[in-house]
Structure 1
């Protein structure tokens, strides 16, 4: 369902902390009014905390200083926003800016401005380095990170105390803890959400903890690599096969349902991002957080996730768009958005401010993971097809009678075909 915010030219400093130099010209002067259209995703859980409010306030502040620029923001749910933008593009009427989940397809079709043609140098340089790099296609940045998060292992302190166990650092310790939790009657000793909602996230978290990933160090898909096959064979044999992942088959368990079960006190441990903290606190669940366990010790890498801002070049307005985005990415605005939705800042300046602030201390475990986080290969236009295939197929790898090598081999074939189409 569309939410529409009519804003009046907000001098926004983006979540990346960039302040307008390149785009600073041409906004305040002249007699003709420019309307910039922005389509954005809703990070709220309802009307009270809808992203509409954030963008409306931002737009109002910007317009007060830029009377010749109006910002017209349409906010959609995550279920609809990417499709809405695609429909606008397919109709030949793209917005000036879109804040959505992926940018690579549009960049590959030469529909986007380069970040360096929009943002002032200080603003572009302020992006967290791995997020900035993830926004590149052929070493040129088109995607501007807007929000980010990492994953840590959440555990239920009460259930752990009752079972007499401590948080795990290795896979073997995790399996032993899960056995102890199962013996105490815990419904989901370890919740393993490999259902279609967000299977790609849980999958990548485990692949990284086993020393693998979707791609190798050169960026080539390596879904069926030996470390990846070993990781899923361990999951199948040591967790799922021993009844340590709960009554719902991992391939049927969605991330949202796993989070709800944790908040209900039915999960011993699971991988989670910052929003799970608020869910658990509201239900009175006392939880702890530790880095993701790895095969031999604490995982050397964790999953990082980013959402993206992009600017379409069809309508022109480059200077006005750049000036607005410099405002969007100011430290103040990035911090405001990150704190409102329990997300990590995408700029170094806002990250430093958050790390130094007592009010943000609960996000510190996630901030600590950011420097070693790895993101999906979002710069590949093939990722959309691979992502969809992972969501549909990966649960079969740990199912009774399933073949980790066979399923991962099939996903590798999908990745290879998708790459060859590019």
Structure 2
């Protein structure tokens, strides 16, 4: 579940910490039960980024309260972190104030290699085989598991059925067809496609995957410098040259407003946005993977999400593992609630996903099927430094700045140096 705030900003809508003890909810300012007490001998600090979906914070508090009710010796302080969550988390992990349990977005192997997060193989128990392959691969480092996936976020292409039908355009199955459709659907008042206000969004990564390429190999070798990757990145320039991309929209690609307000007939966004899209458009929308770059290539959808991790250097590792196990392994109903009641997401446990009614029909079911067939996740070595090298090169290539081959080769060298640092070689 990514931080999405359709009414306000992406993340910054609330701050503060709340302490959950047995039957008591305390905020940093006051208590809802001033006369209440606690028999807890341990207090866990659990961090969440400031989810934008209405009700998400209240759900986190409710889960914490239910955990403490079942484990009266462990209180839980829920800390809701707005703004640059990753930056604040990374800085806090270097201090004594680091949280006991925290969530991270795209999983980073470096946290495990630096000894900042604990291996949690023992947390899974017999439920290990119930987690989907993507969720397990994401958190595996050198054969050990370093987190429990909370939700899978599927990202794909939304389109207005009526707009494409009126223009005589069939849903695109290749990048060339997508580019042609975006150009044909652009008018004086609207553009054909919204990828993000940086004009790239996920498209550079998707283009590499859709032309048979990869970002980084399992052994830590940068792979996005291949001929196929270069070809696909150069192809993206067509969208910019055709002036078919929407730019400067008030919100970014994670918010479906550009699609629902009629500014574009096609938009890249996530499954979390589907309730808002459905509310605005009814059944006048469909979903697609990012199309194959060319015939013979492979469509792609990106699967991200959030993972719960345990601070390996904290004072309460055993209690933190108990919390993670209780909530994200054992409580199937709470997992389904978290994935389906605040935006829309896929539970990483296959048995839980199978019982999620909101994913059982229509475009939501199609999105889940697309993820199962074409889903890709960023590699664990894809940290800020590595992704910045790649994204910077992609922006230059699509913007026509410099020789594409030279620009990409330079990015490969930068990224490889950073990955080598991560792997200590």
TM-score normalised over the length of structure 2: 0.81
Does residue 322 of structure 2 align to residue 323 of structure 1?
Answer: yes
Deviation at 1:359, TM superposition (A): 6.5
More displaced, 344-353 or 171-180?
Answer: 171-180
Deviation at 1:316, TM superposition (A): 4.0
Does residue 87 of structure 2 align to residue 91 of structure 1?
Answer: no
Structure-2 change in CA distance of 1:87 and 1:258 (3 Å): closer
8 Å contact from structure 1 (residues 156, 287) kept in 2: yes
Structure-2 change in CA distance of 1:9 and 1:204 (3 Å): farther
CA offsets 1:14-45 (integer angstroms, 9 cap, x no match): xxxxxxxxxxxxxxxxx862111111122224
- Residue aligning to 2:405: 405
- Residue aligning to 1:66: 71
Deviation at 1:397, TM superposition (A): 1.1
- Residue aligning to 1:289: 287
- Residue aligning to 2:193: 190
- Residue aligning to 1:2: 15
Deviation at 1:276, TM superposition (A): 3.1
Structure-2 change in CA distance of 1:63 and 1:161 (3 Å): same
Higher RCO structure, 1 or 2 (CA under 8 Å, sep 6+):
1
8 Å contact from structure 2 (residues 287, 367) kept in 1: no
8 Å contact from structure 1 (residues 274, 343) kept in 2: yes
- Residue aligning to 1:364: 365
- Residue aligning to 1:352: 354
8 Å contact from structure 1 (residues 396, 403) kept in 2: no
The count of corresponding residues between Structure 1 and Structure 2 is 387
Structure-2 change in CA distance of 1:160 and 1:401 (3 Å): same
CA offsets 1:158-203 (integer angstroms, 9 cap, x no match): 3212212121112232233223213x5562212233729x83x332
User: Of residues 96, 108, 112 in structure 2, which corresponds to 1:107?
Assistant: 112
8 Å contact from structure 1 (residues 223, 409) kept in 2: no
Structure-2 change in CA distance of 1:53 and 1:150 (3 Å): same
CA distance, structure 1, for counterparts of residue 276 and residue 250 of structure 2: 18
- Residue aligning to 1:384: 384
Deviation at 1:261, TM superposition (A): 2.1
Deviation at 1:400, TM superposition (A): 3.6
CA offsets 1:339-384 (integer angstroms, 9 cap, x no match): 0231111112212212x66776542122112323111112x2x622
User: Of residues 62, 71, 80 in structure 2, which corresponds to 1:75?
Assistant: 80
CA offsets 1:303-355 (integer angstroms, 9 cap, x no match): 2113221101223434322322222122211110110231111112212212x
- Residue aligning to 1:262: 259
The secondary structure found in structure 2 opposite 1:190 is coil
Does residue 269 of structure 2 align to residue 272 of structure 1?
Answer: yes
Quote the RMSD (CA, aligned, Å): 2.9
Does residue 308 of structure 2 align to residue 309 of structure 1?
Answer: yes
- Residue aligning to 1:127: 131
- Residue aligning to 1:24: none
Deviation at 1:277, TM superposition (A): 2.3
Structure-2 change in CA distance of 1:61 and 1:369 (3 Å): same
- Residue aligning to 2:47: 39
8 Å contact from structure 1 (residues 40, 73) kept in 2: yes
Does residue 157 of structure 2 align to residue 153 of structure 1?
Answer: yes
The structure richer in helix per residue is 1
Structure-2 change in CA distance of 1:178 and 1:73 (3 Å): same
Deviation at 1:142, TM superposition (A): 0.8
CA offsets 1:248-278 (integer angstroms, 9 cap, x no match): 39xx998438843222212132322113323
Structure-2 change in CA distance of 1:365 and 1:5 (3 Å): farther
The secondary structure found in structure 1 opposite 2:290 is coil
CA distance, structure 2, for counterparts of residue 160 and residue 232 of structure 1: 26
Structure-2 change in CA distance of 1:242 and 1:358 (3 Å): closer
